[in-house]
Amino acid sequence: MTATKHRRRRHDLDPREQARRLSNFIRLLAFAVAAGIVLAGIGLALFPPAYLLGVAGLLAYPLLAQALLVMGERRDLRIERAAPVLMQVDAAIIGVVCALLHFAVIPCLVLLIIVHANSVSSGGLRAWLLNLLSTAAGAGLGLLLLEVPPRVTTVPLSLSVVSLVGLGLHVGATSFFTNRQTRILRQAQERVHDQQRQAVELSRKLAKYLPPQVWGSLFSGQRDAKLETRRKRLTIFFSDIRGFSTVSEELPLDALTKMLNTYLSEMTRIALRYGGTVDKFIGDAVMVFFGDPKSAGAQEDAYRCVAMAVEMQEYMRFLRLRWRRQGIDQKLEIRIGINTGFVTVGNFGTDSRMDYTILGTDVNLASRLESACRPGQVLISESTYGLVKERVRCRSVGEIQVKGFHRPITVYEAHELKRNAGSKRRFVTLDSPGLGLHMDLERIHNFDKKAILKALARCASELGKDKPVDLEYETEGFALYVESKRLREGDREKAVEMLGQAARRIQDRVRI
């Protein structure tokens, strides 16, 4: 096995195992220093040869402690609890050794520094205070059992030097291995951070396949990924593009893909802004519902759904302007059906593959209303109309017969929100040869106002002077396309007037 493999195996150890190994090493080194001091004292004839048994015990103790820890780990015992106990045993044994050394000042100070520095770094202030008590208890036990005379002995300089050298070796070796341990832990933290970044990136990718509300509730722990359903009153939305199948046969694949992705992206953006849960895309069809997993109340859910549908219809006017600039001349329009009722909502499928969706007769009714729509129309059921009639201007369409329902269904057409009616109209769209203008006065940012007014003024001025104009300007809530060579005869003055009206509306409605 190569050195690289050895390093990889060492770095792959559990950080707790690495800390345990470092603790065992420090214990072994500390008692090796203690054994060395006692052995040096025996060599200098300061202590009797019987102290060799003590040297053997000092060398055997850390090995015995490590063996006990390994046995406990194999038996699935909580060895974390054993570490503080061993720390106190270490201190008690060092107290006994100090008694053996007749409390010689420098050797005893060296041993006390070693054992108490380890307790402070490993256990903190409380562990250190306990260590002091354990050391005192060990010293007292040494005085009583070993019959060591209770006096402080002055030792030769050579033993003091040996003690200080042992201290230096212990500090140096401990610092080296602590630094290596820190480096290994830092590398482990970096690997954990990399794994966290990968997990975040993966979750972002997976989130694209789930409605944001569902993804958020899963990650926050509010919802669990298990098969469960419930009955709930929701407002359901269906839409599709009229004649999309015909368009898909005429357009090149790249242009079709770009157009469809643009459409679905913009419709999804609008749905999310109103708080809708985008259930699925079926080709060009979109299914959205309001009221789960979060609900603002049945009435507000229905209103938001209808307001979203009205904005989608208005935004389609802008998309047609953009697509015409890209060479797509088909007049693409969407049909929308909305219904409110009790449905079954939740996770359907199997434990390995599930889908968060809704089922029920009222879901089918929303789909049937969408099929019964004329292009550019928003049809809502009577139940939805009852919830939004105070805030949405609607027109009764009467009763229609829809597939799967024995009785005729009373339906209404939603036109616009009452707060945007008349002079307060939010959307302005102009579409004529050579001139395209779209404004959503609630979506125009105040910091874009000056740039928009400047573009309108410059365009109107150059058209008024019969200068050629070729302009394409888009920003949030505003789009202007002018191609003066395509304007019909006599339309320049009308175009200038329309641009002036648009500038005045922006000036009045958008505040800086």
Tell me how far apart the alpha carbons of residues 381 and 368 are, in angstroms, rounded to a whole number: 11
Contacts of 240 (CB under 8 A, 6+ apart): 283, 284, 285, 286, 334, 335, 370
- Laid out side by side, the sheet with 427-432 consists of 427-432, 435-440, 478-483, 470-475
pLDDT (mean) for 16-32: 75
Share of the chain above pLDDT 90, in %: 30
Distances from the Cα of 330 to the Cα of 112, 406, 411, angstroms: 90, 37, 29
Residue ranges covered by each domain of the chain: 3-195, 233-422, 427-509
Res. 75 pLDDT band, cuts 50 70 90: low
**67 is written with which tokens?**
């063996």
Q: Decide: 131 and 178 in contact? Cβ < 8 Å.
A: no
Tell me how far apart the alpha carbons of residues 510 and 508 are, in angstroms, rounded to a whole number: 6
Closest by alpha carbon to 94, among 81, 109, 79, 105?
Answer: 109
Closest by alpha carbon to 496, among 457, 470, 438?
Answer: 457
Share of the chain above pLDDT 70, in %: 88
pLDDT digits (tens, 9 = 90+) for 83-92: 778 888 888 8
Q: 280: helix, coil or strand?
A: strand
Q: Is the pLDDT confidence value at 19 over 80?
A: no
Contacts of 26 (CB under 8 A, 6+ apart): 118, 174, 177
Distances from the Cα of 346 to the Cα of 189, 231, 359, 485, 503, angstroms: 39, 9, 9, 56, 48
DSSP-assigned letters across all residues of 375-427: TT-EEEEHHHHHHHTTTEEEEEEEEE--TT-SS-EEEEEEEEEGGGSGGG--E
**pLDDT of res. 78:** 59
Mean pLDDT across the chain: 84
108-117, 201-210, 265-274, 491-500: segment of lowest average pLDDT: 201-210
pLDDT digits (tens, 9 = 90+) for 334-385: 999 999 999 999 888 887 778 888 999 999 999 999 999 999 999 999 999 9
Q: Is the pLDDT confidence value at 191 over 90?
A: no
| 421-426 LR contacts (CB < 8 Å, sep 24+) | 421/393, 426/314
**pLDDT of res. 221:** 59
pLDDT digits (tens, 9 = 90+) for 148-184: 565 556 778 888 888 888 888 888 888 887 787 788 7
Tell me which CATH homologous superfamily contains domain 233-422: Nucleotide cyclase, GGDEF domain (3.30.70.1230)
209: phi then psi, degrees, rounded to nearest 5: -100, 5
**pLDDT of res. 42:** 87
**148 is written with which tokens?**
């060591």
**pLDDT of res. 3:** 47
